[in-house]
Structure 1
Amino acid sequence: MDVVAHIHAGQPTETPWRFQLDEMAWRDLVEGLKHDSLPFVGLWCDGVAVHALFMPHGTQPLAASLMLEGGRYPALSPARAVSSLYERMIFDLYGAEAMWATDVRPLVDHDVWAETMPLAAAPGGAGSNKTMLTFQPSEAMQAAGGVTAGSGPASGGRESPLHIALALDGDVIRYAETVTGYAHRGMAQRLKTCRVEDANRLTGRYVAGACAAHQAAFCQAVEAACGESMGPEVSLLRVVVLELERVSTHLFTLAGIARQAGAVLVASRCMWFREKLLTEAAPIIGSRLMMDHCVPGGVNLRTAAAMGELCSKLAELGEEIYPDLVTLWQSYPGLSSRLVGLGVVDSALLEQVGLDGPVARAGGGDCDYRRDMRAYDGLWRFTSGRHDGAVEDRAIILLEEVGESLRMLNTAGPKLGLSAGGRIDLYYEDGEGIGMAEGPWGAVLYWVRLKDGRVEHAFVRDPAYSSLLALEAVLPGQNVADLGLIRASLGVTASALDG
C-alpha cells in the first residue's frame, strides 16, 4: 500500500496538506507504515483528534488526522518506534489512550501534579505520590537483571535532569532505560490560547542551545498560517543567527566531549573560540544566546545594519583560530583513540528511531533540511559525512560543521545591506501553518493553529525524542564510564524531551 496515496484518499480539510481518516483507514495507515519508509515527523493531540505528520518530499508536509472516539485511537508505535514517546506524552496530558501501544508507562507525569490529564476536557484528580519517585522497569529491563545503578538527576553531577536506569554486569552496561519528566514546564498548556508574541518568547526558551532554531521554526509556522513569507534579506538575517547558534552550540558540545575524554586543553580551546565569537556578536545582535531575534514577521536585532560587517569579522576570526583548533583536535595525544568505536549509531538504528541532524550524518545518513530551504540558496553545500557512527565520527562532524557555518557567514556578509532588518505587521487570520529550521542537532518543526488572533494549539518536534531512543539502544555493551561521553555526543536534552 502506498501510504502517501492512502492519506490523500482521506477526507480533505481546510488545510491542503492535512486529511481526515476514519478508524479503519487509520489502522490501515499503521499497517502500511510497517512496510513503507515514509519519514515520520511527530504525533500530537488537540483534545479532539490525533494528528500524525510526515515529510514525504523535502520540507513538504503531509498529515493524517483521526477523531478520538471514547478517548482512544490505534497506536502508531508498532510501525514507528519514536511515536511511543509521543503516545505516552498524549496520555499524560490528555488521557487519550493509544491502543496496542508498545509502551504505556507515564512519560512526564510522576503522579505529583495538582491534577492529572490537565489538558483533557475533564482533568483527573491530583496526584497521590508523596514519597520518592518509583521507577517502573520494562519487561526487557527485568529480563536483563533489573536496575543495579543509575545516573541523574540527583547523582551529584552536572548533567541535565534525565535519569538513566542501568542494569550492569560489572562495569559493562547490559541494559538501559530513561526516566524523563523532571524538566517538564507545561509548555503545551502554556502555548494554548497564548498571544502570538508571548508564544514566540516561550519557544525561545524551549531548549538551551537551540533558541534561534525554535523561534525561527515557530515564526515560519505563524507566517505560513497567515499566508505570508519573508523577503530574502530578512530570511538571510535569520540564517546568520541560526548558523552562529550552530557554531556556538557545537563548540560547547565539543568542549564537553573533550573534557570528559581528558583533553582539557582542547576543551578550553573550544570554549575560548566560542567566547571570542560571542563577544564579537553580542553587541550587534543583542545577546549571547541568540534569543528573541526571530520574531513573527521579521527579525529583532540591535544593530541590523552592521550584520554584514559582523559576518566578515566572524569569518576572519574563523580563519585565524579554526584551522589550529582542527589541528589540535586531530593531534592531541589519545583523544582519537578514546573516542573511536564508542557508542556506534549505525544506519539501521537511524532508520529505526528516525534520527536526523549531525548524529545521522556521522552514521551514513544523508539528511540536512537546509538544502531544501530557500533562505540557504547559494549558501548551503554538501561538505562531508561519516559512516562509522561512533562518538569520534560525531565529534568530527560537529567540528567540520563549525567550519562550514563560518564559511556560510562569510558568504552571507556581502549580501546584507544597510537596510537589513525590520518586520512586517501580520494579520493573524485563522489557519494552520508549518515551520522548520535545521537546528544544531537536527530539524526543529512547529505546527501552529491560529484562532481569533491567538495560538489555539501548537505542536513542537525536536530531535531529542529520537536521540533518547538512540541513547537507550547504544548503551548496552558499553562501559559505564563512557556514559557521559556517549550522552554528550548525541545531544540528548531534558528540556526538549519534557516540554
Structure 2
Amino acid sequence: MDAVDLIRAGQETETPWRFRLDELGWRDMVTALGQDTLPFVGLWCDETDVHALFMPSARQPLAATLALEDGRYPALSPARPISSLYERMAYDLQGAEAMWAVDVRPLVDHAVWSATQPLAASPGPAGGHKGMISFQPSETLLAAGGVNGGAGPATGGMETPVHVAMAFAGETITQAEAVSGYAHRGLALRWRNSRVEDACRLSGRVAAGCSVAHQVAFCQAVEAACGRAVGPEAGLIRVVLAELERIALHLHTLGGLARGAGARVVASRCAWFREKLLAESAPVIGSRLLMDHCVPGGVSLRDATGLGELCARLAALGEEIYPALASLWRTYPALSARLGGLGPVNAAVLDRVGVDGPIARASGRDCDGRRTQRAYQPLWRLTAGQQGGTAEDRALVLLDEIGESLRMLGEAGPRLGLTAGGRVDLPMQDGEGVGTMEGPWGSVVYWVRLHAGRVAQVFTHDPAFAALMAFEATLPGLNVADLALARQSLGVNAAALDG
C-alpha cells in the first residue's frame, strides 16, 4: 500500500479528508513516505494529537492524526527531512517529542522564555538563560571544525533576523547552518480561540510582502470549513491583489539583489517602478501594504468599482516601464558577473526539502499553483523558466513573473464589473478547512479549525521552511561575501519561519 492508501485505511473523523491512525499505522505511513512522492505540507500538534497534512492534488487535502502517547509520536523526519523543522517547533511549543527524529535541537526556544513548552497542558519552568542566546551546533558543523564565524542579527546588518553559524577556510564557507527563533511572535497562541476577523488580520502579518497570499489562503480555509465559496468576481479581485503583491515583492527583491551586486542604477529603477505601481494603487485599494483587503466571504477595498480601471492603468504603466527595466537587468554586466553561478539549488535539494515556487522554477521544475486555481484559469499561462538554479536564474524568473503578472492585470481589468465583488454569508459552523494560494515565493497553505463561531486552531505552511533548508544546502563552497545575495535570492523570511 502507498502512503495515501495507508492514511485512508485509518479511522474516519468528522472531517472527510482527515483520518485517525494508530501507532502501527502511523509507522507504516512513515515507512511508505520514504519511497512515496506524496506532497508533504506540514506537521503540528495540539494538546492531545499530532497531525500531518499532505496534498495529493491541488484541491484535495489529506491529513493523518495520531494520539500522543506520553507526549511522544514516531517522527516523520527520517522519511521527509523538511518535517524536522516542524517537529522541533512542536517540541518547543507543545512539548511533543518526535521519536527517532533526525534533529532534536530547539528551533525557536532559546531558553529565554518565561515558560518552556508554553502551549502544553502544563507548561514547563522558565528558561535558564537571561542574557545571550546560546547556540548548539549540529554534529555536521562540529565535524567541519566547529563555529569560527557568523552573520546575523547581532552583527550589525539590516538583513532578516536569521543567524548563520559558519566554519570556513579563508573566505570560503566549508559548512554552515542557520539559527532562527529571533522573530518568534507566538502566533499559534494568538490564533487560538480568536475571533475570525482578528485571526484573518493576524494572518496578514505572518510574512511581510506576502499578506495577500496568507489572507487569501486563510479565507479559503474558513470558507471551506463553512462549506461556502466566494463568487467569481470576488475570486478575481483576490487574484488582482495577489498579482500586484507579487510584482511589488519581486521588484523589492530584485532591487535588493541589484544593490548587493553593486548595480545601483538597476536597483533604483526597480524601486522607482515599484513606487509608481503602489502610489497608483493605494487610492483604489485602500493601502500601499495590501493588508486586510481579503476577508472571509469576500473582499474589502476602498473603491472596488474602480479596480477594473486601475488594472488598465497598471498594465499601461507596465508597457511603458517594464520592457526597458527587463532589458537593463539582462544587459547590465555587474549583475551577471556577480550572480551567475552563485548558490545553485539542484534537483537533489529540491526533492529533499520539497521546495516549490520561483526557486524550483529556476531549477527547471514546472510547478505553479496558479495553474489549478479556478480564479486563475482564464488568465494564467506558463511562465518562462530557467534551468541552472543559480541566483541569476532565480532573479530572471522573478523578472519574467513581473511581466506575466502585469499581463494578467491587463486581462483581468475588463472582466471586473461594478458589483464590487459581492460578499458571501458564512454560517461559522464547527469544522475544518484548508486553503491554498500561490504566493510570491511559493505555495501558502492554511488549515483552520472553527469551533463555537471562533477560530480554535490554525496551522500555516509558508515557503520559508523549505527556503531555509535550501539556503543551508547552498552555503558550503560559498564565498562569505556572497552570503547576503544567496539568502535574498532564496527569499529566506525569518518572520514566516519563526511564527
TM-score (norm 2): 0.99
The CA distance in 1 between the partners of 2:204 and 2:21, in whole Å, is 34
The CA distance in 2 between the partners of 1:448 and 1:57, in whole Å, is 19
Q: Given the alignment of the two structures, is residue 277 of structure 1 paired with residue 287 of structure 2, yes or no?
A: no
What SS class does the counterpart of residue 178 from structure 1 fall into? strand
User: 1:228-377, aligned counterparts within 5 Å?
Assistant: 228-377=228-377
Displacement of 1:366? 1.3
Question: Which residue pairs with 1:178 in the alignment?
Answer: 178
Q: Given the alignment of the two structures, is residue 117 of structure 1 paired with residue 117 of structure 2, yes or no?
A: yes
Question: Which residue pairs with 1:161 in the alignment?
Answer: 161
Give the counterpart letter for 1:183 in structure 2: A
Question: Which residue pairs with 1:62 in the alignment?
Answer: 62
Displacement of 1:390? 0.2
Question: Which residue pairs with 1:47 in the alignment?
Answer: 47
Displacement of 1:482? 0.5
The CA distance in 1 between the partners of 2:481 and 2:78, in whole Å, is 33
Displacement of 1:421? 2.8
Displacement of 1:130? 1.9
The CA distance in 2 between the partners of 1:243 and 1:456, in whole Å, is 31
Give the counterpart letter for 2:262 in structure 1: G
Q: Given the alignment of the two structures, is residue 443 of structure 1 paired with residue 430 of structure 2, yes or no?
A: no
Displacement of 1:424? 2.7
Question: Which residue pairs with 2:391 in the alignment?
Answer: 391
What SS class does the counterpart of residue 393 from structure 2 fall into? helix
The CA distance in 1 between the partners of 2:82 and 2:136, in whole Å, is 19
Question: Which residue pairs with 1:105 in the alignment?
Answer: 105
Q: What percent identity do the matched residue pairs reach?
A: 66
Give the counterpart letter for 1:149 in structure 2: G
Would the aligned equivalents of 1:346 and 1:364 in 2 still touch at CA under 8 Å?
Answer: no
Displacement of 1:423? 2.1
What SS class does the counterpart of residue 154 from structure 2 fall into? coil
Deviates more, 1:415-424 or 1:208-217: 415-424
Give the counterpart letter for 2:121 in structure 1: A
Give the counterpart letter for 2:69 in structure 1: E
The CA distance in 2 between the partners of 1:155 and 1:287, in whole Å, is 34
The CA distance in 2 between the partners of 1:224 and 1:383, in whole Å, is 29
Would the aligned equivalents of 1:168 and 1:175 in 2 still touch at CA under 8 Å?
Answer: yes
Question: Which residue pairs with 1:477 in the alignment?
Answer: 477
Deviates more, 1:374-383 or 1:184-193: 374-383
Displacement of 1:419? 1.4
Q: Deviations over 1:178-213 (max 9, x none)?
A: 111100000000000000000011001111010010
Would the aligned equivalents of 1:42 and 1:53 in 2 still touch at CA under 8 Å?
Answer: yes
Q: Given the alignment of the two structures, is residue 74 of structure 1 paired with residue 74 of structure 2, yes or no?
A: yes
The CA distance in 2 between the partners of 1:289 and 1:440, in whole Å, is 14
Displacement of 1:47? 1.5
The CA distance in 2 between the partners of 1:378 and 1:152, in whole Å, is 44
Displacement of 1:126? 1.2
Would the aligned equivalents of 2:362 and 2:397 in 1 still touch at CA under 8 Å?
Answer: yes
The CA distance in 1 between the partners of 2:224 and 2:494, in whole Å, is 29
Would the aligned equivalents of 2:249 and 2:440 in 1 still touch at CA under 8 Å?
Answer: yes
Displacement of 1:161? 1.1
Would the aligned equivalents of 2:449 and 2:455 in 1 still touch at CA under 8 Å?
Answer: yes
Displacement of 1:319? 0.1
Q: Calculate the aligned-residue CA RMSD, in Å.
A: 0.7
Give the counterpart letter for 1:254 in structure 2: L
Count residues with an aligned counterpart: 499
Question: Which residue pairs with 2:94 in the alignment?
Answer: 94
Displacement of 1:131? 2.3
The CA distance in 2 between the partners of 1:152 and 1:340, in whole Å, is 24
Would the aligned equivalents of 1:434 and 1:448 in 2 still touch at CA under 8 Å?
Answer: yes
Displacement of 1:57? 1.7
Question: Which residue pairs with 1:26 in the alignment?
Answer: 26
Would the aligned equivalents of 1:251 and 1:271 in 2 still touch at CA under 8 Å?
Answer: yes
Question: Which residue pairs with 1:498 in the alignment?
Answer: 498
Question: Which residue pairs with 1:411 in the alignment?
Answer: 411
Displacement of 1:334? 2.5
User: 1:161-240, aligned counterparts within 5 Å?
Assistant: 161-240=161-240
Would the aligned equivalents of 1:2 and 1:32 in 2 still touch at CA under 8 Å?
Answer: yes
Displacement of 1:420? 2.1
Question: Which residue pairs with 1:133 in the alignment?
Answer: 133
Question: Which residue pairs with 1:430 in the alignment?
Answer: 430
The CA distance in 2 between the partners of 1:486 and 1:12, in whole Å, is 45
Would the aligned equivalents of 2:213 and 2:438 in 1 still touch at CA under 8 Å?
Answer: yes
Give the counterpart letter for 2:173 in structure 1: I
The CA distance in 2 between the partners of 1:108 and 1:48, in whole Å, is 21
The CA distance in 1 between the partners of 2:382 and 2:484, in whole Å, is 30
Displacement of 1:55? 1.0
The CA distance in 2 between the partners of 1:409 and 1:306, in whole Å, is 13
Question: Which residue pairs with 1:460 in the alignment?
Answer: 460
The CA distance in 2 between the partners of 1:304 and 1:131, in whole Å, is 50
Give the counterpart letter for 1:206 in structure 2: V
TM-score (norm 1): 0.99
The CA distance in 2 between the partners of 1:133 and 1:279, in whole Å, is 41
Would the aligned equivalents of 1:301 and 1:421 in 2 still touch at CA under 8 Å?
Answer: no
Q: Deviations over 1:330-375 (max 9, x none)?
A: 1112211211111000111101000000011001111111111001
Give the counterpart letter for 2:145 in structure 1: G
Would the aligned equivalents of 1:361 and 1:367 in 2 still touch at CA under 8 Å?
Answer: yes
Displacement of 1:383? 2.4
The CA distance in 1 between the partners of 2:232 and 2:299, in whole Å, is 12
The CA distance in 2 between the partners of 1:38 and 1:418, in whole Å, is 42
What SS class does the counterpart of residue 27 from structure 1 fall into? helix
Would the aligned equivalents of 2:152 and 2:161 in 1 still touch at CA under 8 Å?
Answer: yes
Would the aligned equivalents of 2:231 and 2:421 in 1 still touch at CA under 8 Å?
Answer: no
Displacement of 1:422? 3.7
Which 5+ residue runs of structure 1 have no aligned equivalent? none
Q: Given the alignment of the two structures, is residue 85 of structure 1 paired with residue 85 of structure 2, yes or no?
A: yes
The CA distance in 2 between the partners of 1:174 and 1:447, in whole Å, is 39
